[in-house]
Amino acid sequence: MYGRHPVLRLLIVCVLAFLLAPILVVIGVSFNPTSAFRIPIGAVSMRWYARFFATPTFRDALFLVSLPVALAASALATVIGSLAAIGLVRARIAARGAFESVFMLPLLIPSILLGAAMYLVSVSLGFRTNFLTLVLGHMLLGIPYVIRVVGSALVAIDPRLEEAARSLGCTPVQAFLRVVVPNLRSSILSGATFAFIVSFSDINLALFVAGPETTTLPIQIYSQIFWEGDPTIAAASTVQIIIVGTLILLMQKIFKIRVGL
Amino acid sequence: MPALSSSLPGEAIAAYPPWIPGWVWLIGPYLLVLIGVLVLPLANVAAISVFTHDPRAFWSARLTGANYARLLDPYYVQVLVRTLRIGLITTVACAALGFPVAYWLARCSRRVVTIGLFLIVMPMMVSTVIRSFGWMVLLGRTGVINVASEALGLGRWLTIMNTEAAVVIALVQICLPLLVLPTMAAIEKVPVSLEEAASNLGAGAITVFRRVLIPLAAPGLASGALLVFVVAISVVVTPALMGGRSNRMLGNEIYDQVITAMNWPFASAMAIVLIAVVLALLGLSLAAGRALARRSVRGA
Amino acid sequence: MLAQDIALELKSVTKIYKGSVTVGPIDLAVRQGEFFSLLGPSGCGKSTTLRCIAGFETPTSGSILLGGERLDAKPAHRRDLGLVFQNHALFPHLTVAGNVGFGLALRKVGAGEITRRVARTLELVGLAGCGARMPSQLSGGQQQRVALARSLILEPPLLLLDEPLSSLDLKLRQQMRDELRGLQRTLGQTTVFVTHDQTEALAMSDRIAVLSNGRIEQVGTPREIYGAPATRFVANFIGESNTLAATVEGIRDEVATLRLPAGQLLRARLPAGTTRRVGEAVWAIVRPENLTIQPAENSQDDPTRLAGTLDTVSYLGEDIHVRLRVPGLDPLLASMKATRRAEVALAVPKIEIGIDACAVVVLAR
């Protein structure tokens, strides 16, 4: 009932401004014509974007590492996560609650620890961290999101739809495949998108697991900040922001999913 | 995080025929992933943490408590205390800023909630390194704020970079959505009529929040706060960029020991301490949740 | 009832949940072409019974036969029964035609044949030309018709309806009631209908089984159920009734004289073949519309007329409902048409109540 209270509204505007400030600043800087980290007044320039796409380290980090890793991790996370969600909701398993908590562990265990642990194992086993370790790690981070989105959609599907299908002659498995799965489609796609974004934005795990040949875009940005690079960093960041923002819009508009945790 | 199964109609599930004979096939792959990528590597870390550091082979299998003992060194105690302090301040700040936002999102129209959620979730999903970079550009000595201030003739007064405050500011921005989303879900379950009833009984806005909304949304608020704290105490990039050399957190020490110093046993000991803090809090919140559920059952 | 007339038969079907009997034993026989209702309050076991027939619950014991064949041995998808749910349960990802043709497609019927039969069935339920729409674009009544068409297209030997009308609003419900009944008659479709709404059951059914606490209280035509309730539960659940504790004072020519606790007498005609003993404790059940009210002044000392006073009078337009106080009894309910005569009778506070002996049902106490 206080949703329209003026004090609340003012507070909301301030908090949203605070949340968006660093992102808007980065976007602004990426259009600055000079190499200073300033928001351009008047003239804007696309030169840092040109530089971004012309610099092999940046370009490769995006096209040869971040995107392929995110695609692979998301595909794996979607398959494994969707199966797990179906099992969690539908199978007759003892201690469903315990399984559910365990399934959410990757959200709660700090990802730097997962990264460090994976790094120690892979080096101990004698192989340097590579594309595969990165994909495995990001897949692990993405699965809980898929389970959450697919699981809650599955819970919301009326069990009577399946009963209706069975009364019309479907076997239980047919009823699931013909009636439930088609209605889960947009949730599964959303889960996949979430998993993609989680992988695409991750830095904590990649910090440990990414090797010299597998520098993801966030890692590349991070190291350039230390090298005190030019606003190409901002252009790279903006490319990341645009991809993430577009994917979230896609989930909202096309899959009609309420984005959230 | 609201539990999945709480929204399951229990009867409908109980009525489900056990037609999935091989449920193993459904949750089996994920269990394998959890064991292979999470449990075993962490167990390996736990094992290394009690082994002896050996510069030539990372570690040698001689049991020792030295790695944990080294954490009692005043420097590391200071790092640990700083980490927990920053985590706590961040959590409290996120709760204070996030609760009103969660309330607003829970109570606004469907159209506005779509926009609102986009504005909350989009920043959450942008890489933390980019957001920390944004804060550097904003708050730096030659950053956007100081430059604008100088242009207005007010001078470069902002000297917050490389302080703990700068780390906290960036962390609050990074963690805020993690608190808002579960809290919003909890407030949505509180009917507006309860607020109206309280107000009808003479409660002002502050009282309604303090006595009705916050207690009823406590489970969501608590799980959000837990997420925030866990994320805040395990960051590496943000203190490295915002805090300079003098505001290092546990995550930075772990990173340096793993990658630079290659003292794996010591890094592992620090990792185990961090994970112990997380698991203790998780256990605490589960116990609190159970106590809360018992109380509400008895109250009903 | 000839054996070949029987479509569905339930033989002592029970369903036990965790050690306590919740439903049964239930014995039922539904005739070919009959509209048969299972009526009862929520939790009485009517839905469980339906789900046992449909195959979504397995009876703990007993057997279910359809056309003389064991039905309970088959899984739900092999029973070929029509089923319509309260919430319609239309597949949201399929068009109306996709929903209606779902069962035919499963049975590998050719596409042309499906299109033809879908069109015919949609016409039958009054939705000709709506095949391309999505379920979400239809009104509640239209969704209901699609759900019905989806089942009827397979020409099931038995149609099960699980409270199909209760999600609709009152006006639409009455309209759908008539349509559904008309359709059922035209097709001669054997139908089992589950409802908690007595008006619905009375208006639509050939026969009704009234259930309470997992058991059948009475099976009969709507007239029998209303006019001659077999148990106190049926009398109170179907319509309103006054239930009076009484003892049998004497029996002569199939008319029993009952004595009420405060000494008043009541005559009741016993149906042929009932045996009541003098001195037996019984319940006398009278419908409110069978009480007649007169001003008290013209009373002779007729012991079968109850003297009383008016408590409350509710004017409901067509009818008047009256609460009466009679010494020694719980308040009585009477109802009458709102005529001039009734208003005159109700103008005086002291009244006499007459009860037609033919309208009193006597049940063992």
DSSP state of A253: H
Asked whether the predicted pLDDT for residue A175 surpasses 50, the reply is: yes
Specify the pLDDT at position B21: 52
What average pLDDT score do residues C322-347 get? 81
Asked whether the predicted pLDDT for residue C185 surpasses 80, the reply is: yes
A residues 211..230 contacting B (CB < 8 A): 217-218, 221-222, 225
Q: Which residues pair with A192 in a beta bridge?
A: none
Helices (H) then strands (E): counts for chain C: 10, 20
The CATH code belonging to domain B68-299 is: 1.10.3720.10
Specify the pLDDT at position B22: 64
Specify the pLDDT at position B266: 94
Q: How confident is the model at residue C361 (pLDDT cuts 50, 70, 90)?
A: confident
Comparing A237-246, B71-80, B108-117, C308-317, which segment has the lowest mean pLDDT?
C308-317
Give me the residue label for tokens 């006019």: C227
- What architecture does CATH give domain C241-364? Beta Barrel (2.40)
Q: Does B88 touch chain A (CB under 8 A)?
A: no
Asked whether the predicted pLDDT for residue B146 surpasses 80, the reply is: yes
Quote the tokens at residue B99: 């609760």
- What architecture does CATH give domain A56-253? Orthogonal Bundle (1.10)
CA atoms of B167 and C241, how far apart (whole Å): 77
Specify the pLDDT at position C19: 63
Angle, CA of B169, B171 and B172, to the nearest 5° = 65
Q: Which residues pair with C266 in a beta bridge?
A: C258
Q: Which helix (H) or strand (E) holds B46?
A: helix B40-48
Q: Does B140 touch chain A (CB under 8 A)?
A: yes
Per-residue pLDDT of C145-184, as tens digits, reads 999 999 999 889 999 999 888 878 888 888 888 888 988 9
DSSP state of C208: E
Q: How confident is the model at residue C70 (pLDDT cuts 50, 70, 90)?
A: confident
Bridge-based pairing state of the strands C255-259 and C306-316: unpaired
Q: Does A98 touch chain B (CB under 8 A)?
A: no
Specify the pLDDT at position C146: 92
Query: Across the interface, which of A160, A170, A171 has its CB nearest the CB of C89?
Result: A160
| Shortest Cα–Cα distance, B16 to chain C (Å) | 9
Angle subtended by helix axes B128-139 and A217-226, to nearest 10: 30
Asked whether the predicted pLDDT for residue B300 surpasses 70, the reply is: no
CA distance readout (Å), B227 to A199, A228, B88, B167, B282: 19, 32, 12, 18, 10
Length of chain C: 365
Share of chain A above pLDDT 90, in %: 58
Quote the tokens at residue C269: 């005609």
| Shortest Cα–Cα distance, B41 to chain A (Å) | 5
Q: Which residues pair with C355 in a beta bridge?
A: C291
Specify the pLDDT at position B130: 94
Specify the pLDDT at position A146: 94
Asked whether the predicted pLDDT for residue C12 surpasses 70, the reply is: yes
DSSP state of B7: G
| Residues of chain C contacting residue A170, judged by C-beta atoms under 8 Å apart | 77, 106
Comparing B252-261, C135-144, C264-273, C328-337, which segment has the lowest mean pLDDT?
C264-273
Q: In what order do the strands lie in the sheet with C20-31?
A: C20-31, C6-17, C61-66, C69-70
CA atoms of B282 and B274, how far apart (whole Å): 12
Closest to B121 measured CA to CA, from A8, A67, A20: A20
Asked whether the predicted pLDDT for residue A258 surpasses 50, the reply is: yes
Q: How confident is the model at residue C192 (pLDDT cuts 50, 70, 90)?
A: very high
Asked whether the predicted pLDDT for residue B95 surpasses 80, the reply is: yes
Domain ranges of chain C: 3-236, 241-364
Per-residue pLDDT of B98-139, as tens digits, reads 999 999 999 888 888 889 999 999 999 999 999 999 999 999
C residues 209..238 contacting A (CB < 8 A): none
Per-residue pLDDT of C34-50, as tens digits, reads 999 999 888 788 888 89
Q: Mapping DSSP to helix (H, G, I), strand (E, B) and coil, where does residue A10 land?
A: helix
| Residues of chain A contacting residue C154, judged by C-beta atoms under 8 Å apart | 168-169
Q: Which residues pair with C293 in a beta bridge?
A: C353
Q: Does A53 touch chain B (CB under 8 A)?
A: no
Closest to C327 measured CA to CA, from C248, C240, C264: C264
Interchain CB distance below 8 Å, C91 and A174: no
Quote the tokens at residue C35: 């509209």
What average pLDDT score do residues A72-77 get? 97
Q: How confident is the model at residue B16 (pLDDT cuts 50, 70, 90)?
A: very low
Touching B (3+ Cβ pairs <8 A), the chains are A, C
More confident of the two residues C345 and A221: A221
Q: Cβ of C21: how many Cβ atoms within 10 Å?
A: 15
Comparing A15-29, B23-37, C12-26, C122-136, which segment has the lowest mean pLDDT?
C12-26
Q: Given this structure, which CATH class describes domain C3-236? A: alpha beta
ipTM of the complex: 0.90
What average pLDDT score do residues B196-224 get? 85
Residue of A nearest to B260 (CA): A208
| Shortest Cα–Cα distance, A157 to chain C (Å) | 10
| Shortest Cα–Cα distance, C152 to chain B (Å) | 26
